[in-house]
Amino acid sequence: MQNQTITLLDTYPVLMNTLEAGYVFERDYPEGVAEMRRVMEAHPEPLFVIDDVSAVTLTMDDLINAANQGSRGENPFWHHPKLLGIYFITTSKAIEMAAQGIKSSTYGKVNVKVCHSVEEALADIEGAMVG
């Protein structure tokens, strides 16, 4: 995959998806989400997903397409039975607003949070694991 790195973290039940400069939603999303699905299905335990999108600029069309493809249709990834929750790493107000939208019943009440750093997301995940 180009412009995207997907890894499992050793210290937390987290599938880390980092989008890099040059990422193009229409070109890169299908292969990336297919790889995340393969990793999640092969992993014995449920996972959180951290989508670090801080290095890319996504258009409004990208956000709408991501919401539709991630949460609707046949077997949407954002409703995968092993998915504990999604964290978007960004400072983009547009992505923050989109995340609020996908929490709605229209998109199946996706469990999503927006954080400004990976460390902030990991702290929240640690708290969720303890609580």
Q: What is the pLDDT of residue 39?
A: 96
pLDDT in tens, 120-129: 999 999 998 8
Q: How far apart are CA 92 and CA 26, in angstroms?
A: 20
Mean pLDDT for the chain overall: 93
What's the pLDDT score for residue 96?
Answer: 93
Beta bridge partners of 53: none
Q: CATH number of the domain at 4-130, please? A: 3.30.750.24
Beta strand spans in 53-124 (E): 83-89, 112-115
Q: Which two tokens stand for residue 115?
A: 């954080």
Average confidence (pLDDT) over 7-24: 96
What percent of the chain clears pLDDT 70, i.e. is strictly above it? 99
What is the percent of the chain with per-residue pLDDT over 90, rounded to a whole number?
81
List, for residues 23-33, the tens digit of each pLDDT value: 999 999 999 99
Query: Residue ranges of the domains in the chain?
Result: 4-130
Environment class of 23 (CB within 10 Å of its CB; exposed 0-12, middle 13-18, buried 19+): buried
For the chain, the helix, strand and coil percentages under 3-state DSSP, each to the nearest 5: 45, 20, 35
CA 59 to chain centre: 16
Q: Among 51-55, 66-70, 90-94, 112-116, whose mean pLDDT is lowest? A: 66-70
Q: What is the pLDDT of residue 38?
A: 96
What is the model's pLDDT at position 48? 98
Does residue 112 carry a pLDDT above 70? yes
Distance CA 14, CA 9 (A): 6
Residue 131 has a pLDDT of 66
Tokens 């539709």 sit on residue: 68
Instruction: Decide: 55 and 20 in contact? Cβ < 8 Å.
Output: yes
- What the block records as the tokens of 34 is 């297919």
Rounded to two decimals, what is the model's pTM? Answer: 0.94
Phi and psi based region of residue 109 (left: phi greater than 0; alpha: psi -120 to 50; beta: remaining): left
